[in-house]
């Protein structure tokens, strides 16, 4: 089916790629619309694949299998992918890996969800947390449990940590009169910290002792 849209002429595959731009590198097969959402059949078509252990490219196909992935919702309907991917032989004699699965650029290895869908869930989870995020995800057509959202948050990689030059230091009570703790906060603008500079406290065990650090009250 070809339909004219403005000055563009879109085929069925173009429509699918318009809604799923992250699938541009795979071949789209059938697209089924059922009561439980959209089901897209696709196949990986790259000529070669790199071994994840030695990074040597391989052309020899060992076998094929189908990966099932959840994807972003379309018009509040859940969408799923069934992607036929291949296993390749690794022909590098010095590599311990004999057979490997080709990687998909839109999904991590062993993931059940595309990276785009995972990023969307992570945004919902970070904004609303588990229970409220799960309620919103059902409205959006993603539909996941509070525990899933918490797992998504836990899998977000930690940002790279650099040794701060300026720290805000404050004490607070976990249980007044019994248990106290100290919070170390990094100012948003380390070059222009608010507050009054005070002499640095003695280095704590979890701070690098050899760093010349300035305290801010
Ligand atoms: Zn290898």
Residue 113 has pLDDT above 50, yes or no: yes
Count of helices and strands (H, E) across the chain: 4, 13
What spacing in Å lies between the alpha carbon of 93 and ligand 1's midpoint?
Answer: 8
* Residues 197 and 150 grouped into a single domain: no
Residues 6, 12, 17, 18, CA torsion sign: positive
117 in the same domain as 85: no
Q: Would you say the C-alpha torsion 119, 123, 124, 125 has a positive or negative sign?
A: positive
- Asked whether 40 and 81 are in contact (CB, 8 A), the reply is yes
Distance 99 CA to ligand 1 centre (A): 8
11 and 76 inside one domain? yes
Ligand 1 centre from 103 Cα, in Å?
14
Residues 17 and 88 in one domain: yes
Ligand 1: centre distance to CA 87 (Å): 12
Give the model confidence (pLDDT) of 12-24 as tens digits: 667 777 778 888 8
Residues 133 and 175 in one domain: no
Same domain, 9 and 97: yes
What distance in angstroms lies between residue 60's CA and the mean position of ligand 1's atoms? 12
CA of 96 to the centre of ligand 1 (A): 7
pLDDT value for 34:
83
**Is the confidence at residue 2, as pLDDT, over 70?**
no
* DSSP secondary structure letters along 71-121: EEEETTEEEEEEEEEEEEE---TT-S-SEEEPPBTTB-TT-SB-HHHHHHH
Query: Is 153 in the same domain as 102?
Result: no
Pair (80, 124) in one structural domain: no
Q: Give the separation between CA 68 and CA 66, rounded to whole angstroms.
A: 6
Residue 83 CA to ligand 1 center (angstroms) comes to: 23
Considering Cα of 125, then 131, then 134, then 136, what sign does the dihedral take? negative
Q: How far is the CA of 193 from the centre of ligand 1 (A)?
A: 51
Both 89 and 123 in one domain: the answer is no
Domain holding 132, by residue range, is 113-157
Continuous segment of H or E residues that includes residue 39: strand 37-44
Q: How many domains does the chain have?
A: 3
Same domain, yes or no, for 53 and 94? yes
In the reported structure, the alpha carbon of residue 100 is separated from the centroid of ligand 1 by a whole-number distance in angstroms of 8
pLDDT band at 167 (very low <50, low <70, confident <90, very high): confident
In the reported structure, the alpha carbon of residue 25 is separated from the centroid of ligand 1 by a whole-number distance in angstroms of 23
189 and 141 in a common domain: no
Question: Which of the pair, 85 or 203, is modelled with greater confidence?
Answer: 85
Quote the CA–CA distance of 110 and 33 in Å, as a whole number: 26
Say if CB 112 and CB 67 are below 8 A apart.
no
């Amino acid at each position: 089916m070809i339909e004219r849209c403005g000055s563009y002429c879109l085929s069925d595959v173009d429509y699918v790629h318009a809604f799923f731009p992250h699938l541009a590198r795979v071949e789209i097969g059938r697209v089924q619309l059922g009561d439980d959402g959209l089901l897209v059949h696709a196949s990986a078509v790259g000529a070669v694949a790199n071994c994840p252990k030695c990074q040597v490219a391989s052309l020899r196909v060992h076998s094929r299998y189908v990966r099932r992935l959840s994807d972003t919702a379309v018009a509040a309907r859940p969408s799923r992918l069934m992607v036929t991917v291949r296993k390749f032989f690794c022909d590098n004699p010095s590599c311990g890996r004999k057979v490997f699965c080709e990687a998909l650029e839109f999904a991590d290895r062993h993931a059940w969800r595309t990276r785009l869908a995972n990023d969307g869930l992570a945004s919902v989870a970070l904004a609303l947390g588990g229970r409220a995020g799960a309620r919103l995800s059902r409205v959006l057509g993603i539909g996941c449990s509070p525990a899933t959202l918490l797992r998504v948050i836990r899998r977000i990689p930690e940002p790279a940590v650099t040794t701060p030059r300026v720290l805000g230091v404050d004490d607070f009570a976990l249980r007044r009169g019994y248990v106290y703790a100290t919070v170390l906060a990094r100012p948003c603008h380390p070059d222009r910290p608010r507050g009054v500079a005070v002499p640095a406290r003695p280095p704590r065990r979890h701070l690098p002792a050899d760093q010349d650090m300035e305290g801010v009250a």
